[in-house]
């Protein structure tokens, strides 16, 4: 167990806005008392956003499941000739959005898919400009760094120019997908190129330099160590201090069902304590530099999302219609109507605030 004096020195550093070092973060993961973590983390969040908890009415659209990367932690991807492989046409995507845009007041479209070598840059520019024109109130939160990296290579367009072109056609923000754990050796074991962690940071930095905001994520509960997570958080913090381009951070737990990692022996999802510990430590490490920590109900469920708020998160996430990545693991997700989110936030004596894709408040309930 971490000593009182060591925990006090960490609390003092946090209070003074000093960055924790990697060994201090590892101590928080391995030896700190969970209640101490929660109290410290929630205290920081209270100073940032008080008892307000934001959420967004969103739609997740996975436009293709064909992917040439084939990560060992992913149950979603298919090969081109698999019977259930699919790619949505631009018309398909538009028709899908129409089902939700007006009836549910959708404000954010999270659109991402596999790294599909059959699609050209024209598909993406055509897709985004059509969505922007037909659904002017929708913020397009699109494409993982893996997709962006591949599109840039295939089109022979540098990432910077690609981002400018996509923004001109309607892309508003970039999700944090592809972050997982940034360490190269962990990524290699997960079936990712070793350099893909640096690639994630480089693309995020390029976006932030252009003034394009992005999200950050971390996937935990597989073969990573506490030190890997400490390095991951510190890499994100370092970039955040340069441009303040990350709008939010979402730690989410690995879902093993139907994945290569499960076949390799990583069969069980991590428990609730790990979920709230990761939320609390993220808040403590990011302190006020990265104001929004999101409680991902998609992988953790509604009750854990409530616990995550009490341990330092201040954004619920979205309503999520039609997501296909987590259901591919065998986990049932469903959709969450706005009313349920509002009720869940009120159940823990917090104030629900609906927001848009850029985290601007729309309505307080
Ligand atoms: S996580 Fe993304 S890049 Fe990796 S296999 Fe799945 S769809 Fe492809």
Residue of minimum CA distance from atom 1 in ligand 1: 74
Residue 38 host element (H or E) = helix 34-49
* Gap between the Cα atoms of 137 and 170, Å rounded: 11
Residue 363 host element (H or E) = strand 361-364
Domain residue ranges in the chain? 36-359
Q: How far is CA 39 from CA 25, 250, 358, in A?
A: 16, 19, 28
> Which of 63-77, 326-340, 342-356 is predicted with the least confidence, judged by mean pLDDT?
326-340
335 has pLDDT over 90: no
Whole-number pLDDT of residue 323: 62
* Tokens of residue 365, six digits: 């309930």
Closest approach atom of ligand 1 to CA 70: 5
Calculate mean pLDDT across residues 94-111. 94
Question: Any idea of the CA torsion for 99, 104, 108, 111, to the nearest 10 degrees?
Answer: -30
Burial 107-120 (b: 16+ CB within 10 A, else e): bbbbbbbbbbeebe
* Pocket probe mutation, ligand 1, options 60, 85, 114, max atoms within 8 Å of Cβ: 114
Whole-number pLDDT of residue 330: 66
Q: pLDDT digits over 170-193, tens only?
A: 999 999 999 999 999 999 999 999
C-alpha 87 – ligand 1 centre gap (Å): 15
Whole-number pLDDT of residue 96: 93
C-alpha 227 – ligand 1 centre gap (Å): 24
Whole-number pLDDT of residue 299: 77
Q: What pTM did the predictor assign?
A: 0.95
* Tokens of residue 190, six digits: 């997960």
CB count within 10 Å of CB 237 equals 20
Closest approach atom of ligand 1 to CA 147: 3
Q: In terms of CATH, what superfamily is 36-359? A: Aldolase class I (3.20.20.70)
What is the 3-state secondary structure of 112-172?
A: CCCCCCCCCHHHHHHHHHHHHHHCCCCEEEECCHHHHHHHHHHHCCCHHHHHHHHHHCCEE
Burial 1-34 (b: 16+ CB within 10 A, else e): ebeeeebeebeebbeeeebbeeebbbbbbeebee
Residue of minimum CA distance from atom 4 in ligand 1: 71
Give the position of tokens 């997570």: 229
> Which of 43-47, 169-173, 272-276 is predicted with the least confidence, judged by mean pLDDT?
272-276
| Burial degree of 66 (CB within 10 A; 0-12, 13-18, 19+) | buried
Q: pLDDT digits over 4-23, tens only?
A: 889 999 999 999 999 999 99
Whole-number pLDDT of residue 67: 96
Whole-number pLDDT of residue 258: 86
268 falls in which pLDDT band (50, 70, 90)? confident
262 has pLDDT over 80: yes
Does residue 67 line the site of ligand 1, with CB under 6 A? yes
C-alpha 115 – ligand 1 centre gap (Å): 7
Calculate mean pLDDT across residues 104-124. 96
* Pocket probe mutation, ligand 1, options 62, 64, 146, 261, max atoms within 8 Å of Cβ: 146
* Gap between the Cα atoms of 333 and 323, Å rounded: 8
């Amino acid at each position: 167990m971490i000593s009182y004096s060591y925990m006090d020195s960490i609390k003092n550093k946090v209070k003074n806005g000093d960055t924790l070092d990697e060994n201090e973060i590892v101590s928080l993961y391995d030896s700190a008392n969970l209640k101490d973590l929660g109290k410290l983390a929630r205290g920081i969040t209270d100073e940032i956003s008080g008892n307000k908890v934001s959420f967004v009415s969103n739609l997740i659209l996975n436009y293709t499941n064909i992917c040439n990367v084939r990560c060992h932690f992913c149950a979603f991807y298919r090969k081109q000739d698999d019977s259930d492989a699919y790619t949505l046409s631009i018309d398909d995507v538009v028709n899908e959005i129409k089902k939700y845009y007006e009836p549910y007041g959708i404000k954010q479209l999270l659109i991402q898919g596999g790294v599909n070598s059959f699609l050209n840059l024209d598909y993406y520019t055509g897709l985004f400009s059509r969505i922007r024109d037909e659904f002017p109130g929708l913020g397009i939160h699109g494409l993982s760094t893996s997709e962006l990296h591949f599109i840039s290579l295939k089109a022979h367009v540098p990432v910077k120019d690609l981002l400018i072109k996509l923004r001109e056609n309607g892309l508003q923000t970039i999700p944090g997908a592809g972050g997982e754990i940034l360490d190269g050796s962990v990524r290699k074991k997960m079936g990712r190129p070793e350099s893909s962690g640096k690639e994630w940071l480089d693309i995020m930095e390029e976006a932030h330099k252009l003034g394009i905001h992005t999200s950050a994520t971390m996937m935990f509960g597989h073969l990573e160590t506490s030190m890997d997570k400490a390095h991951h958080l510190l890499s994100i913090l370092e970039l955040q201090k340069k441009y303040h381009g990350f709008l939010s951070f979402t730690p989410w737990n690995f879902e093993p069902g139907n994945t290569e990692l499960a076949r390799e022996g990583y069969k069980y999802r991590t428990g609730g304590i790990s979920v709230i510990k990761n939320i609390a430590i993220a808040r403590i490490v990011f302190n006020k530099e990265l104001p929004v920590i999101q409680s991902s109900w998609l992988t953790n469920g509604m009750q854990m999302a409530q616990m995550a708020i009490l341990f330092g998160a201040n954004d619920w996430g979205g309503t999520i219609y039609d997501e296909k990545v987590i259901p591919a693991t065998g986990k049932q997700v469903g959709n969450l109507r706005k009313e349920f989110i509002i009720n869940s936030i009120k159940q823990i004596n917090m104030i629900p605030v609906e927001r848009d894709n850029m985290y601007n408040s729309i309505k307080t309930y």
